[in-house]
Structure 1
């Protein structure tokens, strides 16, 4: 198909050897209207076959940057029907010189002006510039003026291009710093610590490598795997509302909810077994802190209980006919190795439960071996349950004052563990604000019919696993 320029008075056609380009009218409505206004044909509207040739642009081609003068065509000349037919070759040379000089003057005028580009004003400027050149001008003066103006135009183009590149680079760096992306966190340990609780990007990247193979089922058009993990960690770390995260990541609230649940489930099944586990007796003795190494080598775990409030009465059970339970507190039993890492965390028990009931229902006793020593920072009343497994139970704060406890084999210098587990629990809850409560109702329902763990139980486990990836909470040295 042979295209003809639709500009009034322009006879250019797409033919071989001309070197002209022909452009469709833009799809953007605003830019398209500016093109139509520039063409200035009364009552005319372009169709799919309408084309505008490259001679109507200052640089000889259209530019899609709105800051460029060639974002909208601006080179148009009024053709009078009374104009005489030019005689080659003198008049065509003069016309070409006029157009080029007018284009250069128009460009300089646009660069010096402060207001927005108006196609009508630009067209009038071109016409006025062209009319200022008369037939009495000689060829030499036209040529000299053209060369000087074009040289100045070339210099201006280079300066403008450099300035735009600097501005673009600065804007990219600014946007990158404000964005929540992999590159923005890579070299900023403080930012990683603030948003995720992890000590540096290397640990975050290690977690990502562990979870990535299991995240293929999570399909998101807007969030990468890294952003999905970051979103879930920010939910745990800062306890941000779903709407807040939706604004930050540019997604819907439903996407935030699904992403948090999916990522928590994946971390519960892959990260927790890797980071939260009961060490062997040989490993415990090998890494036992100096305070207990010689005096209490059989110390296996330090236990404590903590409670997290809920928003309201929570339904118990995983069936549709679940009933509401009186009380709005979730109780957890936590076990910490002498080295400061969490080795056991129970599922949450609703309501008023004694420590003994919590220990017996959590599966903690199955971890103990005969001869193990279980310490606690306060009286948990679980000595009988621990003794039934052939282990010994003691309260750390009594070591220094209770001679009967010391006579039973518990050392006086073990008093250093008195607040050990309390510091660990405090650190986990301080590092992941979601564990301070109150727990939202959707997180307290059982995640799966075949499991007794709610989504929030998994969140507590994941928080303990992430805490274990950091430096030991309270080494007993």
Structure 2
């Protein structure tokens, strides 16, 4: 019996079937892309550590301000023996943060670390307190003999210089209280600020850091109150800018550019002295500029950060001694 069967090898699916197939393919493609993105984020979370940046000194400088991975590991081995003494900041301790600041931060995502901002804040507070205690326990003030033994040739005309000082200001959030506003307002910055005094030895290291004062306090008053006068003896000299009128506040010599009397021309020897002091004072300005390159000081300090701003400022100053080479050889 001969049975003939027809086969339609050129059957074309209905247009509706093609649309469904394309839609399914597109859906699967989007799902694959999303899974790839999630996998990449997991890799970032897993690999965000020191080892990830070991081959890039540029990344190390960006994240830590230290010049190299080797430099960072050397600093770590200096502080590692006392890590077991660290006291972690708990959620209860960090709850003093302003409510509006909390609401504002909840809307943020900390992309670099994949952590909630409050978690990062607690980690920073923990390490700030630890480094403030650890680094602060090391006496950074140098004896006159140590300063002289490291005195750069550029200071040969000012051989008894013990410390070069200057004040710096950090912009902060305007308080709601009119009284606090008047105390914090700086005429120089035309903004509410906190002001601190920093001193460096002639060869570069930070040897004195004051606490922070309200922006309206004068440089002279900060100098009198911060405690540095107790460190200066008659055989020492301090180098300052012409805005520091402190000659009557200390027993030691003060190297300060002279003011030009009205209607009179400055004598040649005073011109040379002014230029020499200005060149040497650049060093303290450079150190302060380096300290303020820390991201925290880029913008306006919120009132919530003012709780431990003294510790943050001191740690930034003290860490500069480990981050940088000597300014002059």
Identify whether the pair has TM-score above 0.5, normalized to the shorter chain.
yes
| Counterpart Cα distance in 1 of 2:106 and 2:223 | 34
CA displacement 1:118-159 (0-9 Å, x = unmatched): xxxxxxxxxxxxxxxxxxxxxxxxxxxxxxxxxxxxxxxxxx
Hey, what's the Cα distance between the residues in 1 that align with 2:132 and 2:106? 21
Match of 2:67 in 1: 199
Match of residue 199, structure 2, among 322, 335, 339? 335
Give the match for residue 252 of structure 2: 391
Partner of 2:304: 442
Secondary structure in 1 aligned to 2:221? helix
1:307 to 169, 172, 175: 169
Mapping of residues 9-28 of structure 1, within 5 Å: none
State the 1:310 CA deviation. Answer: 0.5
The aligned counterpart of 1:295 is 157
Equivalent residue number for residue 186 of structure 1? 54
Deviation at 1:263, TM superposition (A): 0.5
Aligned equivalents of 2:246, 2:206: Cα separation in 1: 19
Q: Deviations over 1:329-354 (max 9, x none)?
A: 10111111111221111111014111
* Superposition deviation, residue 404 in structure 1: 7.4
SS of equivalent to 1:419: helix
1:251–1:433 distance in 2 versus 1, CA, 3 Å: closer
1:214-243 Cα offsets, whole Å, 9 max, x none, are 4445569xxxxxxxxxxxxxxxxxxxx897
**TM-score normalised over the length of structure 1:** 0.49
TM-score, normalization by structure 2 = 0.68
In the alignment, the residues of structure 2 paired with residue 206 and residue 361 of structure 1 have an alpha-carbon distance, to the nearest angstrom, of 36
- Partners of 1:416 and 1:474 lie apart in 2 by 13
Shift of 1:397: 7.5
Change (3 A) 1:257 1:418: closer
1:303 deviates by 0.8
Deviations 1:158-189 (A, max 9, x none): xxxxxxxxxxxxx99x9479932121122321
- Tell me the equivalent position of 2:246: 382
Q: After TM superposition, give the deviation of residue 406 of structure 1 in Å.
A: 9.2
Larger CA Rg, structure 1 vs 2: 1
Write the distance in 2 (CA, Å) between the matches of 1:350 and 1:265. Answer: 22
Distance 1:254 1:433 in 2: 17
**Corresponding residue of 2:321:** 468
Secondary structure class of the residue paired with 2:130: helix
Q: Which runs of 5+ in 1 are unaligned?
A: 1-114, 116-170, 221-240, 316-322, 446-454
Gaps of 5+ in 2: 1-24, 26-38, 90-104, 185-191, 260-265
Match of 2:143 in 1: 280
Q: How far is the alpha carbon of 1:271 from its aligned partner? A: 2.3
Q: Given that residues 128 and 315 in structure 2 are in contact (C-alpha distance below 8 angstroms), is that contact kept between their aligned partners in structure 1?
A: yes
Matches within 5 A, 1:65-80: none
Contact 2:45 2:113 in 1 (8 A): no
Matches within 5 A, 1:209-228: 209-216=77-84, 217=86
Among residues 209, 212, 218, which one is paired with 1:345 in the alignment? 209
In 1, Cα distance between equivalents of 2:278 and 2:268: 13
* Matches of 1:419 and 1:392, distance apart in 2: 20
The answer on 1:271 being equivalent to 2:135 is yes
